């Protein structure tokens, strides 16, 4: 074994081998994989080997599509067969709600280049005759589904990587990881120490233990999982003979089962409700090629439904039940990327569907390591997406919930209960007493809306408008006409200080930094000129002679942004970034009476001139030391008030008492989001994501190309000079009783006109080079955009996609935001657009100006 390597990949499961292959393919020569035992010695060897492309997150779906198309490539390079069976598969809906869910998934597929099709139960039965189709109301067909040989596939990656020069060391456990002052990792193994620049945790079932070697508790847990194999079945053989085809894969939501042909019989697996974690605290190092004891009682309820839905299978003898563990993160998606706070320590773990996702994970991670950037939008699997609140026990509760709900519908207004409450603000009990319906916002309990007194504070989950509608309307109306108060602890808050803080921020942000006491809004770009942040920044008075800035941003992106900030901090330690998290909480008051209310609580003049729109001031509010921004996301006259948690109750009480004479109401997050819609304000992670450029995102006025050289400036200047293909726009939709949720297709009546290929971007063309120096940009499916495949219906064509929307209660309109070709973005003609909501196309019209206070006068008064 060599003693030095550029990168050491720990773990020889399907994921580690894929990472190794992609690093080798990207041209890294000096790389090695270290495996404790033999390849596939974790969960990879006993997987059911199924693969599919569908995923709730379109970007993860794209990576799954890449994985599937990669198999041919690794077979060719390695000479090792993956035993690919591309059978196609169906998802069966047993209720109208489930059919709505499939319609949504199908609609998303329209612009993602997927060939899904909605079919009848009888059509599904023709491809899988073992089912009783009368149990179902409809189905969705996906041709890109199938199964493969897990062991062969893992070896194919490994052999291909070896052929490209990578080294694989077997039967050698990594026992310790330490880091030198210069950043070099000491990878201490049973056979000696390897000095490495980069370490990758592909430890699968032991990923948590490897994390602990570097002081990180990764939110990952292994669950037991069972599938059964039947004896050969004459019906299967007969079907194969008469059709010349293999039976397809079937996913039955109601039964929580998946099933497909395996040799001459059937394989049937369950995601049972009574699920069971495996080794919940630590994984034994001596666990090898072993199976767990099957527990038929646990899966009996699923089997009972399964046998009813697929009576053909009930008759077959069971040959074997496989029970094996595999890992999940809280939301079922992988944990990929550099771990914030560490240098050159990378993760590619918690990959619960290694044979659907392993290729995409390997590609993303190798791009990130080799080129400094994953090259496409991988937020859905970024290891930075969970906070410190995702502790061992939290993870245990959430993973169990996620596993048991794997085939359940998640409604757009559904808040899941496990591991809650985790974090609460001092106002938590008060909000509950106020009949708040609470939601989980990055681990923090946050009021969503306030149910009328005497009614149960509970959402009725639905794809349609629900029981919160009337209450939110009232919250919005009272706020817009008088004044409302809401909690805003669920924002990210940072302080940047030290000599040169302003220059540092000017280098990171697209807008000019504010003068002392003023606020700016500013996007942040990566080197490729793509949006990676959207912040509110205030310049506070100097402390100890040092420059000081306060920054507010998206709560969920805190670790993602900290990772970026830390990467760009000067190495001399002159600039400090403090992330407050929940050590700073907030309240926002908004509405025409908010100034009169606040004036009663402060001892300084806050008249229009004395405390202008976009001013920042440190002042006592109701006797508590606070920071106050004259700005609000409602787009009205309003204030954000920030304080230490110890003062939050005091300030809230003062606001409530002073607000009585003005008709103050409490409002929740949903009212806030409704109000931002009627101002055409975008949101981070919906309208604004790393797949969009700042001009595409219609952020033009916040991009100051002339101010100084900032990260992404050159690419942004190019985007502006060349003009964008896409543009973010806002719509008013003639909806019925359901509003958009996000990802719906936008149709336009374009007749014979050609607006070019409309593309939903995933990658952003990060330049990449292979070992010979040849550019490999956009060379594979995952990096390219999904062409909207010219879905045509007469004069109508799908031209774009929705990012978010809902009901704008004050203007009483259903609204949506999304991306369309730039040439259509200012065309507000009636009859030009339709947006597909739950399978029904509804007329929509672009509204260029926000319907509420288009001139912005109200927030400036």
Contact positions vs ligand FAD (CB under 6 A): 10-16, 34-37, 41-44, 46-51, 173-174, 202-206, 210, 225, 227, 322, 324-326, 349, 351-356
CB of 226 to ligand FAD, least distance (A): 7
CB of 250 to ligand FAD, least distance (A): 13
**Cβ-based nearer residue to ligand FAD, 49 or 457:** 49
**Cβ-based nearer residue to ligand FAD, 188 or 823:** 188
CB of 339 to ligand FAD, least distance (A): 16
Residue 417 CA to its chain's centroid (Å) = 19
CB of 310 to ligand FAD, least distance (A): 18
**3-class DSSP state of 362:** helix
CB of 272 to ligand FAD, least distance (A): 12
**Cβ-based nearer residue to ligand FAD, 225 or 858:** 225
CB of 43 to ligand FAD, least distance (A): 4
The residues, ordered by sequence, that sit 6+ positions from 628 with a Cβ below 8 Å of its Cβ are 598, 611, 616, 617, 618, 619, 621, 639, 640, 641, 642
Written as six digits, the tokens of 852 are 């509420």
Written as one string, the DSSP assignment of 230-296 is: EPP-HHHHHHHHHHSSPPPEEEETTTTEEEEEETTEEEEEE--SS--EESSS---TT--S--PPP-H
Percent helix, percent strand, percent coil in the chain, to nearest 5: 30, 30, 40
Kindly list the distances between the CA atom of residue 203 and the CA atoms of 17, 26, 141, 222, 286, in Å, as whole numbers in the listed order: 11, 22, 34, 12, 14
**What Rg value do the Cα atoms of the chain yield, rounded?**
28
**Cβ-based nearer residue to ligand FAD, 297 or 722:** 297
Pair 825, 691: CB distance under 8 Å? no
**Cβ-based nearer residue to ligand FAD, 323 or 467:** 323
The residues, ordered by sequence, that sit 6+ positions from 430 with a Cβ below 8 Å of its Cβ are 649, 652
Q: What angle do CA 112, 785, 789 make, to 5 degrees?
A: 45
Distance between CA 142 and CA 126 in Å, rounded? Answer: 15
**Cβ-based nearer residue to ligand FAD, 298 or 728:** 298
Question: Sheet holding 638-643: strands in order across?
Answer: 616-621, 624-629, 638-643, 585-590, 484-487, 665-666
Backbone φ/ψ region at 581: left (φ over 0), alpha (ψ -120 to 50), beta: left
CB of 406 to ligand FAD, least distance (A): 12
Pair 380, 333: CB distance under 8 Å? yes
The residues, ordered by sequence, that sit 6+ positions from 124 with a Cβ below 8 Å of its Cβ are 90, 92, 131, 133, 136, 139, 141, 250
**Cβ-based nearer residue to ligand FAD, 20 or 846:** 20
**For 491, phi and psi rounded to 5 degrees?**
-100, 155
Q: What angle do CA 168, 171, 176 make, to 5 degrees?
A: 90
CB of 594 to ligand FAD, least distance (A): 52
The residues, ordered by sequence, that sit 6+ positions from 427 with a Cβ below 8 Å of its Cβ are 487, 648, 649, 652
Distance between CA 855 and CA 311 in Å, rounded? Answer: 65
Pair 551, 537: CB distance under 8 Å? yes
Could you tell me where the beta strands, DSSP code E, fall in 382-443? 436-441
CB of 772 to ligand FAD, least distance (A): 29
CB of 622 to ligand FAD, least distance (A): 53
Distance between CA 409 and CA 131 in Å, rounded? Answer: 22
**Cβ-based nearer residue to ligand FAD, 118 or 188:** 188
CB of 356 to ligand FAD, least distance (A): 5
Give the containing element (helix H, strand E) for 857: helix 857-860
CB of 140 to ligand FAD, least distance (A): 19
**3-class DSSP state of 394:** helix
CB of 326 to ligand FAD, least distance (A): 4
171, 123, 114, 172: which is closest to 143 by C-alpha? 114
**Cβ-based nearer residue to ligand FAD, 356 or 594:** 356
CB of 270 to ligand FAD, least distance (A): 10
CB of 202 to ligand FAD, least distance (A): 6
Pair 358, 67: CB distance under 8 Å? yes
**Cβ-based nearer residue to ligand FAD, 336 or 655:** 336
677, 636, 638: which is closest to 851 by C-alpha? 677
CB of 277 to ligand FAD, least distance (A): 13
Written as six digits, the tokens of 587 are 């309240």
CB of 691 to ligand FAD, least distance (A): 25
CB of 400 to ligand FAD, least distance (A): 16
Question: Does a cis peptide bond (omega within 30 degrees of 0) precede residue 421?
Answer: yes
Task: List residues bridging with 756 in a β-sheet.
Answer: none
The residues, ordered by sequence, that sit 6+ positions from 320 with a Cβ below 8 Å of its Cβ are 228, 229
Pair 256, 303: CB distance under 8 Å? no
**Cβ-based nearer residue to ligand FAD, 203 or 690:** 203
**Cβ-based nearer residue to ligand FAD, 41 or 430:** 41
**Cβ-based nearer residue to ligand FAD, 205 or 627:** 205
Pair 209, 172: CB distance under 8 Å? no
């Amino acid at each position: 074994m060599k003693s030095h390597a550029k990168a050491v990949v720990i773990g020889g499961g399907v994921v580690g081998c894929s990472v190794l292959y992609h690093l080798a393919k990207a041209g890294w020569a000096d790389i090695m994989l270290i495996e404790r035992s033999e390849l596939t010695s974790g969960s990879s060897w006993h997987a059911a080997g199924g693969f599919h492309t569908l995923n709730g997150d379109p970007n993860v779906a794209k990576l799954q599509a890449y994985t599937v198309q990669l198999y041919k490539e690794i077979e060719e390079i390695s000479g090792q067969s993956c035993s690919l069976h591309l059978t196609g598969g169906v998802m069966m809906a047993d209720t109208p709600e489930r059919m709505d869910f499939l319609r949504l998934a199908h609609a998303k597929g329209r612009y993602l280049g997927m060939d899904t099709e909605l079919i009848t139960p009888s059509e599904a039965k023709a491809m899988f005759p073992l089912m009783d189709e009368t149990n179902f109301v409809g189905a969705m067909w996906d041709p890109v589904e199938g199964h493969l040989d897990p062991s062969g596939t893992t070896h194919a990656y490994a052999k291909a990587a070896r052929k490209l020069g990578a080294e694989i060391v077997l039967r050698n456990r990594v026992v310790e990881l330490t880091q030198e002052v210069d950043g070099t990792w000491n990878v201490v193994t049973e056979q000696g120490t390897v000095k490495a620049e980069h370490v990758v945790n592909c430890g699968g079932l032991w990923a948590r233990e490897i994390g602990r070697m570097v002081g990180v508790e990764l939110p990952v847990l292994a669950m037991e999982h069972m599938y059964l194999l039947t004896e050969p079945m004459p019906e299967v053989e007969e079907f194969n003979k008469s059709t010349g085809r293999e039976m397809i894969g079937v996913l039955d939501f109601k039964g929580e089962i998946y099933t497909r042909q395996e040799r001459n019989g059937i394989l049937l697996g369950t995601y049972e409700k009574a699920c069971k974690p495996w080794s919940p605290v630590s994984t034994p190092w001596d666990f090898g090629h072993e199976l767990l004891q099957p527990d038929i009682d646990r899966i009996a309820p699923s089997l009972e439904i399964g046998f009813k839905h697929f009576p053909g299978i009930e008759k077959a003898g069971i040959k074997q039940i496989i029970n094996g563990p595999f890992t999940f993160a809280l939301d079922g998606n992988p944990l990929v990327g550099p771990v914030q706070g560490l240098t050159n320590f990378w993760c590619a773990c918690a990959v619960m569907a290694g044979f659907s996702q392993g290729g995409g994970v390997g590609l993303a991670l190798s791009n990130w390591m080799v080129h400094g950037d994953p090259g496409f939008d991988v937020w859905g699997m970024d290891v930075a997406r969970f906070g410190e609140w995702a502790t061992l026990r939290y993870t245990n509760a959430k993973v169990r919930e996620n596993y048991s709900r794997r085939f359940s519908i998640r409604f757009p207004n559904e808040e899941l209960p496990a591991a809650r409450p985790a974090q609460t603000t001092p106002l938590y009990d008060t909000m509950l007493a106020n009949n708040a319906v609470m939601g989980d916002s990055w681990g923090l309990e946050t009021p969503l809306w306030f149910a009328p007194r005497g009614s149960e504070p509970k959402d009725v989950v639905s794809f349609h408008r629900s029981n919160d509608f009337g209450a939110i309307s009232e919250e919005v109306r009272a706020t817009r006409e008088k004044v409302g108060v809401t909690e805003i602890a669920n924002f990210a808050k940072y302080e940047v200080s030290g000599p040169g803080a302003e220059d540092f921020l000017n280098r990171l942000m697209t807008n000019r930094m504010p003068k002392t006491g003023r606020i700016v809004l500013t996007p942040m770009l990566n080197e490729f000129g793509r949006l990676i942040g959207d912040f509110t920044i205030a310049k506070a008075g100097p402390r100890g002679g040092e420059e000081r800035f306060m920054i507010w941003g998206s709560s969920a992106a805190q670790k993602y942004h900290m990772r970026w900030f830390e990467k760009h901090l000067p190495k001399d330690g002159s600039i400090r970034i403090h992330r407050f998290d929940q050590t700073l909480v907030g309240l926002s008051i908004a509405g025409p009476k908010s100034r009169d209310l606040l004036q009663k609580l402060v001892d300084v003049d806050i008249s229009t001139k004395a405390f202008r729109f976009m001013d920042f001031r440190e002042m006592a509010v109701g006797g508590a030391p606070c920071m106050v921004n004259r700005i609000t996301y409602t787009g009205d006259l309003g204030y954000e008030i920030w304080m230490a948690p110890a003062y939050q109750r005091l300030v809230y009480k003062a606001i409530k008492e002073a607000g009585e004479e003005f008709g103050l109401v409490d409002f929740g997050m949903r009212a806030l989001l409704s109000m931002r819609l009627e101002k055409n304000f975008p949101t981070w992670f919906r309208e604004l994501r790393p797949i969009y450029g700042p001009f595409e995102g219609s952020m033009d006025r916040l991009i100051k190309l002339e101010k100084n050289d900032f990260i992404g400036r050159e690419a942004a200047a190019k985007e502006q000079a060349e003009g964008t293909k896409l543009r973010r726009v806002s719509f008013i939709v003639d909806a019925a009783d359901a509003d958009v949720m996000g990802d719906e297709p936008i149709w336009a009546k374009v007749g014979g006109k050609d607006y070019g290929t409309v593309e939903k971007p995933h990658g952003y063309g990060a330049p990449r080079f292979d070992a010979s120096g040849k550019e490999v940009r956009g060379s594979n499916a995952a990096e390219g955009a999904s062409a909207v495949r010219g879905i045509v219906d007469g004069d109508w064509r799908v031209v774009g996609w929705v990012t978010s929307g809902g009901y704008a209660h004050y203007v009483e309109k259903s609204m949506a935001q999304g991306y369309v070709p730039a040439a259509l973005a200012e065309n507000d003609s009636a009859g030009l657009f339709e947006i597909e909501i739950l399978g029904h196309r509804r007329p929509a019209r672009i509204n260029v100006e926000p319907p509420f206070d288009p001139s912005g006068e109200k927030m400036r008064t």
